[in-house]
Amino acid sequence: MSLLEPRIAPFDGLSVCLFCGSSDAADPKYTQAAADFGRATAHAGWRLVYGGGGVGLMGASARAAHEAGGRVLGVMPGFLRSRERLFDEVETLVVTSMHERKQIMYDQSDAFVVAPGGIGTLEEVVELLSWKRLDLHGKPVIFLNIDGFWDTFFDLMRHSVASGFTPDTFLQAWTIADTVEQAIDQMTADPNTAPLQHDQR
């Protein structure tokens, strides 16, 4: 657990982490989906945990959740404050490194939703799935696969299985939602989604 956790305001409900892009150049349909997801978490009474930025899909999701009256926790390394433009209207931790950011986001979340994004989003989810492959956690991972954005990633994972590098059971490490509504439904239906489960990581 992170040494910074005592500074985080207590929250007794479900916390969902959204991994997503921070580019304002992304297709508006992806930004709209992120905003819809943030709003949906607020309406469900869940806390949104995200990367702390005010740009791109990150900013859209946090603003929508905040404006809908939801709880939001942002976590950002100090060196990204200018690039990702810290969204300080919500509870935000500024940490020292990307590793610390990911640790806190992981520790503070009960489930993960992966929206469209770039190399940073891919890096985050690959590490999360690697931990799951090693049986270090059982938290749900849901890909928000708007217009098939993640299909080529799934193809790569199937290729890894077919090539003998990964067991076929790994393909069950995540679920796929084509819409925000499906992602919300999957979170509420997954029996593993329980507040702050302890794991071995």
Residue with tokens 């492959």: 133
CATH class of 11-188: alpha beta
SS (H, E, C) 107-143: HCCCEEEECCCCHHHHHHHHHHHHHHHCCCCCCCEEE
At 51-107, the pLDDT tens digits run 998 999 999 999 999 999 999 999 998 887 666 577 778 999 999 999 999 999 999
Amino acid identity at 96: T
At 162-194, the pLDDT tens digits run 999 999 999 999 999 999 999 999 988 876 776
Residue 155, pLDDT > 90, answer: yes
Residue 39 — pLDDT band, cuts 50, 70, 90? very high
pLDDT attached to residue 165: 97
Residue 114 — pLDDT band, cuts 50, 70, 90? very high
d(CA 39, CA 34): 9
At 129-151, the pLDDT tens digits run 999 999 999 999 999 999 999 99
